[in-house]
């Protein structure tokens, strides 16, 4: 398919996924790297309590809270 035809299908709102190789698709800045962090026992207990209350894993709550804080810091720096 020519790029012109592909662009026209996209601009018309047609489904173009059949023409894409999604096996090589990547989201920028979403690659993962393992990090080890040591927490005091009281902090792990508090994290586990909150994670259980929300029905998520400890890792999930840590990631969400850190992401929220980083977004908050970035917004404050832009102000």
Question: C-alpha 70: how far from its chain's center?
Answer: 13
Rounded distance between C-alpha atoms, residue 12 and residue 63, angstroms: 38
Which carries the bigger pLDDT value, residue 66 or residue 25? Answer: 66
Rounded distance between C-alpha atoms, residue 75 and residue 67, angstroms: 12
Among 7, 71, 59, 1, smallest CA distance to 35 is for 59
Q: Where are the domains of the chain?
A: 3-78
The pLDDT tens digits of the residues spanning 26-69 come to 888 888 899 999 999 999 999 999 999 999 999 999 999 999 99
């Amino acid at each position: 398919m020519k790029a012109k035809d592909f662009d026209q299908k996209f601009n018309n709102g047609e489904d173009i996924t059949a023409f894409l190789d999604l096996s090589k698709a990547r989201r920028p800045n979403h690659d993962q790297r393992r990090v080890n962090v040591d927490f005091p026992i009281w902090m792990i207990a508090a994290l586990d309590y909150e994670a259980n209350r929300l029905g998520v894993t400890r890792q999930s709550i840590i990631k969400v809270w850190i992401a929220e804080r980083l977004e908050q810091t970035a917004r404050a720096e832009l102000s």
